[in-house]
Amino acid sequence: MSRRERREKAAEERPRISFWQGVREIVIILVLAAIVAVGIQSFFFKAFIIPSSSMSPTLQIGDRVMVDRVTYYFRKPRRGDIVVWRYPPDDPRSLTTSNPFYWPFQQIGETLHLTHRGTTPFVKRVIATEGETLQIKNGQVYINGKPIVEPYKVQDNSDFGPVKVPKGMFYGLGDNRPNSRDSRYFGPIPYRTIIGKVILIWWPPSHFGKPRPRINS
């Protein structure tokens, strides 16, 4: 039997897929792709738009950023991390429940835009973590009585504290201190409310890269 004859015979023996079988396979592939996409956004990575100038000059209004949801599965937030969360801690919609069965559904609902519609997330920098004492004197931040260096911030002359950060919470401040509604106004934020850590500016192209402190002149 020649090679051509073998190919023709193999083609005849190969099962033929009907039109509706092809449609069904395409639908299954699309459904699986949608499930994977929702899973990635709900539990691994999610894109956000910077809504205000409170993190300027590090993040500008309209910057598209990628938020890493995985990091805080394994460790708590650290000073200097830029984090996203949804509501002030006193908002009844804030995710403060300790019920582990509620959390996955809340994350999936947010990805599908079934929950939190019309809300604007907060994007701030972690300044003080649980157990630390925070104080601001004439714009200088002190942690446990020691000044910290903040090359990224817009200078102001505010005073705040001293306050001790409760267990399971952190204080988040905007880099643009004179124009930021943050923990100085609504207090400490529960770790549980954090959506994730900002790891990348992906749009516009001129801002592409890891968010980095920009030293003010």
Residue keyed to tokens 């699986």: 32
Which one of 124, 153, 180, 197 is the catalytic residue?
Answer: 124
Q: How far apart are CA 195 and CA 214, in angstroms?
A: 24
Q: How far apart are CA 82 and CA 64, in angstroms?
A: 14
Q: How far apart are CA 51 and CA 46, in angstroms?
A: 15
For residue 63, which of 177, 198, 216, 153 has the smallest C-alpha distance? 198
- Specify the amino acid at residue 208: F
76 is catalytic: no
Which one of 42, 46, 54, 183 is the catalytic residue?
Answer: 54
Distance between terminal CA atoms of the chain? 82
Q: Read off the tokens for 156.
A: 């102001």
Angle at alpha carbon of residue 17, lines to 16 and 19, rounded to 5°:
135
137 is catalytic: no
Catalytic residues: 54, 124
